[in-house]
């Protein structure tokens, strides 16, 4: 009877031991790779400011528009002068080669002679959004419209604005 008890105790202990090993569930471990790629930051440098040129005001309001290509036109009671410089704004964008980006232009700004103001709006760019070249560069041209008031006082009007580019 002692042999049977010892054998039976051994079988029970083996069963309990195997239940603990297999009863706790199984687990597995595998490794993975973590990666990161640092890219060239995108940057924008203004190489030519936006200039509407010399404008003669009258008793009627009007506008002068410079397109992104540098073409000037006018409406209403203003006469752009052929004397003086007018031009589109030019920016140089650089960054990661072949990367796409968006451009954010201002909605409207004010330019001032220190006392009087005029609004500048309808900012447009060429391209409207873009892809940097294989060398990681792109030229961006910007135009806008200045709104000249009736009998706008003479003076040199200036103001600043922001153009922002960002990777998509």
Predicted confidence (pLDDT) per residue in 6-40, tens digit: 555 555 555 555 555 555 668 999 999 999 999 99
Locate the domains of the chain by residue range.
Answer: 43-167
Q: Are 46 and 59 in contact (CB under 8 A)?
A: no
Q: What is the pLDDT of residues 111-166, one digit of tens each?
A: 999 999 999 999 999 999 999 999 999 999 999 999 999 999 999 999 999 999 99
C-alpha to C-alpha distance for 95 and 138, rounded to whole angstroms: 9
Residue with tokens 């105790």: 9
- Res 52: pLDDT: 98
Instruction: Tell me the pTM.
Output: 0.81
pLDDT band at 110 (very low <50, low <70, confident <90, very high): very high
The whole-number pLDDT of residue 111 equals 98
* Contact by Cβ (8 Å): 138, 113: no
Task: Note the pLDDT of residue 147.
Answer: 98
pLDDT of 63 strictly over 70? yes
Asked if 91 contacts 139 with a C-beta cutoff of 8 angstroms, the reply is: yes
Q: What is the mean pLDDT of residues 55-70?
A: 98
Residue with the larger pLDDT of the pair 84 and 66:
66
Residue 64 has pLDDT above 90, yes or no: yes
Place of tokens 């005029």: 118
Side-chain-facing half-sphere of 73: CA atoms under 13 Å: 7
Confidence of residue 82 (pLDDT cuts 50, 70, 90): confident
């Amino acid at each position: 009877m002692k042999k049977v008890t010892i054998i039976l105790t051994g079988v029970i202990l083996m069963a309990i031991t195997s239940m603990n090993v297999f009863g706790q569930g199984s687990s597995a471990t595998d490794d993975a790779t973590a990666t990161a790629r640092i890219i060239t930051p995108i940057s924008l440098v203004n190489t030519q400011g936006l200039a509407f040129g010399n404008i003669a005001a009258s008793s009627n309001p009007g506008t002068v528009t410079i397109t992104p290509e540098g073409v000037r036109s006018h409406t209403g009671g203003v006469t752009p002068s052929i004397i003086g410089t007018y031009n589109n704004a030019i920016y140089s964008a650089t960054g990661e080669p072949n990367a796409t980006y968006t451009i954010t232009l201002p909605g409207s700004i004010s330019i001032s002679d220190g006392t009087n103001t005029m609004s500048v709006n309808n900012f447009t760019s060429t391209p409207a959004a873009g892809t940097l070249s294989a060398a990681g560069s792109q030229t961006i041209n910007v135009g806008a419209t200045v709104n000249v008031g009736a009998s706008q006082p003479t003076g040199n009007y200036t103001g600043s604005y922001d153009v922002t580019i960002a990777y998509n």
